Structure 1
Amino acid sequence: MKKLIKIGIPISIIFLLTACGNSENKKKEVPPENKTSVVIPKESIVKINDDILNAIYSHYVHLTAALAKDNVAEAKLAANAIEAGALEIRSSSNLAADAAAIVSAPDIDKQRAAYSDLSNELVSLLKKTGMADAELYVEYCPMAFGNKGAVWISSTKEVRNPYFGEKMLKCGEVKEIIK
């Protein structure tokens, strides 16, 4: 529980500060890649058998939504939170390194490549840990990365493709269910 608090408080502060922002009505020029605001979907309640993975998954939802909206800055913010939480995982997980690769990626294509590695690692961890409540869907896009295909995790069956974003938002299918 102390680890959850140790991770949760800094992550919550980051999100609180970014959500509150500046209350002044100043107009700033936003780079084209960041003009689309990211709405984090209200997903069904998911309870994973590990508190740290629960926290990581909530930021993973934010990351997936950012990539689906082609938003580089929001993806970096979410990946930074994932990296902080992943450092607390005891297993030999590459989750922190995969999240760090997203944070340092210069463009959305490189972010998506690192996101694929992160998603594969998270799927593996979730299968080992299991679900306490609800279920997660492993969704698959067969066209990602030159038709090699790639997976991501969602708590709904609705496809919101993070690999092609707005270009092909609904491309993909449910590949398996994690219970």
Structure 2
Amino acid sequence: MKNSINILMVISVLLSFIASNAQTKNFKSASVKIYGNCAMCGKAIEKAGNLSNEANVDWNKDTKMAIISFDSLATSKEEIVKRIALAGYDNDIFFAPDDTYANLPECCQYERAKKDAHNRQMHKMIMTGDHMQHGAIAQENQNKNTLAAVLEHYFSVKDALVNTDGSLASNKAEILLNSVSGVEMDKLPMEVHMAWMKVLQDLKQDIGNIMATKNADKQRVYFKSLSKNMFEVIKVSKSETPVYYQFCPMADGGKGGSWLSLEEVIKNPYYGSQMLSCGKIVETIK
């Protein structure tokens, strides 16, 4: 018995070592120059670049150099420094958007490297996805179509709840989750990229919760949060066809609940046939 316990302990230690060693091999380090002035800049730079279990940024205000450690299977140096640029800080790879830089606190407005007209145009292309080459334009259209697919599958979940079909809503949520997971957010235009990053984890959590039950009433609780976050993305990314943001004041015990729809006609996903037409359009996105 004692020998068996000892063997199990040895196996456990070996497995832990193997897992730790594999994770260590995935992690890489890189040095990048990032422009900033003060400790406040450092906090903003590190906050923008850090991502739990994926990336860590350590910036030195004297040298302007950042040591970036990251899981190469989960992210890349380019993705990390792009987030930092989008927060307002120029670096060796990306320039920050001019308006974002202008909104930094005065003490954080570092001296920017001179950029000629060509470089500014190239910066615009890099940060917004506004590429001139046909292949790049095709890629941008593909990314837009990816978000269109996400929206389409969201509508499938919504329609299932309109019909109070919890089983169908669970199935459609699984398809929606696959669509959300398939979005390559580093290839999205700047504003959409930022909006998507902010809501991605909440989207996945709410969709997963809808998948996990076939009770329509429970699904509607998560659908309320899901709809709010979908709205935050769609109002930035826009849509080829009008999308209506609708609201029912009676949902969630009188707290109210919103949803997105392709139709102007109200079809309430929170009550279904009980109060199908309860609600109104509060915003049209186009």
TM-score of the pair, normalised by structure 1: 0.69
Query: Which amino acid is 2:171 matched to?
Result: L
Structure 1: state its 5+ residue gaps.
1-46
CA 1:172–1:87 in structure 2 vs 1: closer, same or farther (change >3 Å)?
same
Q: Distance in 2 between matches of 1:153 and 1:67?
A: 13
1:110 to 198, 201, 218: 218
Q: Distance in 2 between matches of 1:101 and 1:80?
A: 10
RMSD across aligned positions (CA): 1.8
Matching residue of 1:55 = 149
Query: Which structure is richer in relative contact order (CA contacts within 8 A, separation 6 or more)?
Result: 1
Query: Which amino acid is 1:124 matched to?
Result: E
- Paired residues for 1:8-157 under 5 Å: 50-89=144-183, 90=185, 91-92=196-197, 93=200, 94-131=202-239, 133-157=240-264
Query: Which amino acid is 1:74 matched to?
Result: L
Percent identity between the two aligned chains: 30
* SS of residue in 2 equivalent to 1:50: helix
Query: Which amino acid is 1:110 matched to?
Result: K
CA 1:153–1:48 in structure 2 vs 1: closer, same or farther (change >3 Å)?
farther
Per-residue Cα deviation, 1:35-73 (whole angstroms, up to 9, x for no partner): xxxxxxxxxxxx997222211111112111110111011
The question of whether the paired residues in 2 share the 8 Å contact of 1:83 and 1:97 is answered with no
Query: Does residue 178 of the first structure (1) align with residue 285 of the second (2)?
Result: yes
Q: Distance in 2 between matches of 1:166 and 1:80?
A: 24
Q: Distance in 2 between matches of 1:139 and 1:174?
A: 4
Aligned length: 132
**Larger Rg, first or second structure (1 or 2):** 2
The Cα shift of 1:78 comes to 0.9
CA 1:49–1:142 in structure 2 vs 1: closer, same or farther (change >3 Å)?
farther
Q: Distance in 1 between matches of 2:150 and 2:266?
A: 21
The question of whether the paired residues in 2 share the 8 Å contact of 1:102 and 1:114 is answered with yes
Bigger fraction of residues in helix: 2
Query: Which amino acid is 1:153 matched to?
Result: L
TM-score of the pair, normalised by structure 2: 0.44
